[in-house]
Structure 1
């Protein structure tokens, strides 16, 4: 079914709560596929409800990979995910199945499809010092210091994004060359053919979906799930704690925020994230197919396209 000369990888992407997981599962069932996670937060193991990972009954219907595979303390970057995803794609193809990437981390997908520049390894000591500097200087001062050396990367980063600011500073310290320069260097793309499906929902419909999904998470016990992590007294710098809703629940557990406020802020932040995702997709991804997820026969149209691609 899939060309052996250049194997195909299906990509299902779009904003959060747009129905990617359900579509990827349906394709996996109908085409003998394995669903491979392409969402940064869903790689972490402690928040399956909060990050809307596929439920066990869904995973029983088709193989799934890269969901809940990292502890909250470990950083996952586009480069690291690319390495993990590449291994899973190769494993899936060797098993005679169709790889189906599913997720909304657009930078990760672009890194896999278009390639990534090879950046020299950074000594651990520099990373530790950069994190210490962030804590000592504060976000604004750290950002201003980085901007002196890498104005382009600072312009692309959100002010409070500690992980990416630290990464840019440690690369500058280790190489004497801005991270933005490294990223513009030569990069090798993947050896597969990609069929990319973008879900582009109506904004009002998506807002309602995000609200409804948060309420479902509450009913499923997300508060207890996050509480179990909070009670472990985790390091606030753990990358996995950036999952939407986790900081708000932590404030609730400290008595700083009512549960209803957690719900409101969590929904608002998720809606803002979905808006940023769609902006990114419009400028950075060239999909083969674009669908409003409310439209009937989406699955059939995708399969028709794939059959023609593989003919």
Structure 2
């Protein structure tokens, strides 16, 4: 037996719809593990079907953590998720269980594994004002204003990324220092050893799987799930509303998009996201093990590696 002090934290990652949750659950059952969510959208409590959170019967088979725990109106950053995940890792280890991180939010995983520079929190009123400015000025003018103070960060951001532009502006307002400068500070690394398993599927197989999964979601009740949120008239700025399919369903409810177009556009956006994820994994992650999700012997190979990491 490997002592808890030396036992690794297992990371199961890969693009959306590649089978991460099933693999993590199988490992949890075989290794006595706790599955800890590492997917940004799955932390929110409003869209369990749309975000493909493990079903209740799956969560009953092994302990799961950080699924559906954050109200839709709250912001979950990579830094705040790191704090939550670190606590769950320690709870799992204290209970004699193996922590198994499962999700495709690469930035979150990198922040946990490699550390993050200490960036101070801004007062809530600054965030509210920054969001109001984004709405009043428009993305282009807001971006131009931010570029006067933090051109390095602006060069990294997509023009329509409201959340990260707003975050950069509030940090500048709160500290008088660009967010890019804070990010260059010394990062505190995690105290655990990680074993990373990357699922790297065939592109055609993944495209078809994404389509089939969305059809299952449609049959499983995502319209009613999204309608319950829509009827609450949520603030459009809430980050949790970015779940794939939610914007399209909201447009459908407003009479702006047919159900057929919802399906087509949501599937297309999810495929584009999966492609971006794979690009990120290729350039930003050095996994210990890489598998095609269809590999029959993946579980056996992973367990062999965990038991004999030097072989």
Deviates more, 1:81-90 or 1:182-191: 182-191
Counterpart CA distance in 1 for 2:272 and 2:256 is 23
Counterpart CA distance in 1 for 2:291 and 2:222 is 30
Conserved 8 A contact 1:82-1:108: yes
Find the counterpart in structure 1 of residue 32 from structure 2: 32
Deviation at 1:310, TM superposition (A): 8.8
Q: Structure 1: which 5+ runs fail to align?
A: none
1:100–1:106 distance in 2 versus 1, CA, 3 Å: same
Counterpart CA distance in 2 for 1:144 and 1:281 is 30
Asked if residue 235 in structure 1 is aligned to residue 235 in structure 2, the reply is: yes
Find the counterpart in structure 1 of residue 111 from structure 2: 111
Find the counterpart in structure 2 of residue 170 from structure 1: 170
Find the counterpart in structure 2 of residue 11 from structure 1: 11
Q: TM-score, normalised by structure 1?
A: 0.98
Conserved 8 A contact 1:171-1:179: yes
Conserved 8 A contact 1:39-1:103: yes
Counterpart CA distance in 1 for 2:135 and 2:128 is 11
Deviations 1:94-122 (A, max 9, x none): 00000000000000000000101101231
Deviations 1:34-89 (A, max 9, x none): 00000000000110000000001100110000000011100000000000000000
Deviations 1:250-298 (A, max 9, x none): 0000000000000000000000000111111111111101111112201
1:32-71 correspondence to structure 2 within 5 Å:
32-71=32-71
Q: 1:24 is paired with a residue of what secondary structure?
A: helix
Q: 1:149 is paired with a residue of what secondary structure?
A: coil
Find the counterpart in structure 2 of residue 133 from structure 1: 133
Find the counterpart in structure 1 of residue 212 from structure 2: 212
1:3–1:310 distance in 2 versus 1, CA, 3 Å: farther
Counterpart CA distance in 1 for 2:21 and 2:40 is 14
Q: 2:158 is paired with a residue of what secondary structure?
A: coil
Find the counterpart in structure 2 of residue 185 from structure 1: 185
Conserved 8 A contact 2:82-2:108: yes
Q: TM-score, normalised by structure 2?
A: 0.98
Deviates more, 1:150-159 or 1:240-249: 150-159
Counterpart CA distance in 2 for 1:72 and 1:123 is 20
1:265-304 correspondence to structure 2 within 5 Å:
265-304=265-304
Find the counterpart in structure 2 of residue 157 from structure 1: 157
Deviates more, 1:207-216 or 1:160-169: 160-169
Conserved 8 A contact 1:3-1:310: no
1:247–1:302 distance in 2 versus 1, CA, 3 Å: same
Deviation at 1:238, TM superposition (A): 1.3
Conserved 8 A contact 1:36-1:99: yes
Find the counterpart in structure 2 of residue 263 from structure 1: 263
Find the counterpart in structure 2 of residue 101 from structure 1: 101
Counterpart CA distance in 1 for 2:6 and 2:307 is 15
Conserved 8 A contact 2:12-2:196: yes
Conserved 8 A contact 1:21-1:54: yes
Counterpart CA distance in 1 for 2:2 and 2:58 is 24
